[in-house]
Structure 1
């Protein structure tokens, strides 16, 4: 690209054939981000050219459509939402209870301290530790939890 680049300029990366917004400059590279958000990528300045209005609009619409298709697939149960992919299954036993299912380790059920969910402080809906789902924990044990923090 012959003219100077500025943050927030919309350019086309001819190396990857993508349109993006200039987010910053690191060494010899220009950092670009898709128009509707997402992961940045590095591009060489010589591979950049100003994006025309039609190219910028087309790239933005393509990304919105892809996001919409993903949401539809999640709603249909074909995909797991991105935030859910990181989270362990709700029926995950603690390490003590999982090991206690093996012969010779039955006494480890009593050593399980994960008797309730431990939320991340100052965050809503994010757990540091999920409650053990083992059937050996009764409702009485859940109300008198002794989870060490």
Structure 2
């Protein structure tokens, strides 16, 4: 790119063939973020090219379509997206319930038996949007949680 990009510009990183929004500058690098949100990456300024409005729109639509395949229209590194298993990846264990987290503190051990998160709770009539994950404690079984 002949001119230095400005914060907010939409550019294409020719090294990775990704389109992103300029978020800032760190040393010799330009920090870019995917159009639909997500983790920033560093790019060398000489490898950036401006995008046309059509190219930027196409990249944004492709990002949204990719996320919607998994039932959620959120950034890939968000809490909601991590709760949904993507094909070919291992699913992370859900976090422990509030009761089980508090039960780890001295004096609150009896709260462990109060855990009621025995299954994932999804938003009704949604495409898999997780409202409350099941308790992620390994010591629980369905009969342990009430």
TM-score by length of structure 2 reads: 0.57
Tell me the SS of whatever aligns to 2:6: coil
Q: Is the 8 Å Cα contact of residues 115 and 132 (structure 1) preserved in structure 2?
A: no
Deviation at 1:116, TM superposition (A): 2.8
Aligned equivalents of 1:127 and 1:138: distance in 2? 10
Gaps of 5+ in 1: 73-79, 95-110, 119-123, 140-149
RMSD over equivalenced CA pairs, Å: 3.8
Q: Output the CA distance in 2 between the equivalents of 1:39 and 1:28.
A: 19
SS, match of residue 70 in structure 1: coil
Gaps of 5+ in 2: 73-79, 85-90, 101-108, 117-130
1:36 to 2:36 alignment: yes
| 8 A Cα contact 1:117 1:127, kept in partner | no
Would the alpha carbon gap of residues 65 and 128 (structure 1) be closer, same or farther in structure 2, given more than 3 Å must change? closer
Q: Secondary structure at the match of 2:23?
A: strand
**Deviations 1:57-110, CA, capped at 9 Å, x for gaps:** 1101111111111218xxxxxxx95225444499xxx9xxxxxxxxxxxxxxxx
Provide the TM-score with structure 1 as the length reference: 0.56
Runs of 4+ in 1 over 6 A off after TM superposition: 126-129
Residue of structure 1 in register with 2:112 after alignment: 114
Q: Distance in 2 between matches of 1:89 and 1:48?
A: 40
Could you say which residue in structure 2 is the equivalent of 1:71?
A: 71
Structure with bigger helix share is 1
Change (3 A) 1:138 1:33: closer
- The equivalences for 1:42-61 within 5 A come to 42-61=42-61
Query: Which residue in 2 is equivalent to 1:76?
Result: none
Secondary structure class of the residue paired with 1:15: coil
**Aligned partners of 1:125 and 1:134: how far apart in 2?**
16
